[in-house]
Amino acid sequence: MRLALAEATAAESTGDVPIGAVILDPTGTVIAQGRNTREAEGDPTGHAEIVAIRSAAHTLHTKAAQTDPKAPPTWRLTDCTLVVTLEPCPMCAGAIVLSRLTRVVFGAWDPKAGAAGSLYDILRDPRLNHTPEVIPGVLEPQCHAALNRFFEHHRQK
């Protein structure tokens, strides 16, 4: 989570809401990092989770192709863990389910847009084809503090 918080801090430097994410492979090695880039790139889908998922899928796809050129490369993030500073929104929750992430760890709850148990619970909806494990509240005070600082500064402007 501390690596995700560092990504969140980097997002803030571009005027983006400070949300950061990292993805770990089954051995616990970081294979992708992401931060909000909506303002920096003018992309409404530039959420930290989406950025990290795209990067991790590309990494695994490339690695699989290099390891065994005859095997079909994969985009599936099976056995990988997403660590993110804020509860995923519905868009990100959909991407998490579709990418087959095994586990999601998040810091702060998002009662206005969260889709991992607060407003919606897309990640644990048994009607979907995949339901990752969800671990909420990791370093929650630090994750909330980063967001609170950002929005307090924005309100002062």
* Binding site per annotation, positions: 47, 89, 92
Residues 26-56: tens digit of each pLDDT? 999 999 999 999 999 999 999 999 999 999 9
Looking up tokens 């990791």 gives 138
- Point out the catalytic residue in the list 7, 12, 49, 87: 49
CB within 8 Å of 38: residues ≥ 6 apart: 16, 17, 44, 45, 46, 47
* Binding site per annotation, positions for Zn(2+): 47, 89, 92
E strands within the chain? Answer: 20-24, 30-35, 81-86, 103-108, 133-135
Q: What total of structural domains would you count in the chain?
A: 1
* Residue 152 designated active-site: no
The amino acid occupying position 100 is R
Domain residue limits at 29:
1-156
Residues 112-153: tens digit of each pLDDT? 999 999 999 999 999 999 999 999 999 999 999 999 999 998
Question: In the numeric block, which tokens belong to residue 140?
Answer: 């929650």
CB within 8 Å of 67: residues ≥ 6 apart: none
Q: What is the CATH number of the domain that holds 73?
A: 3.40.140.10
Residues present in the chain in total: 157
Q: Tell me the whole-structure pTM to 2 decimals.
A: 0.94
Question: In the numeric block, which tokens belong to residue 80?
Answer: 């990988």
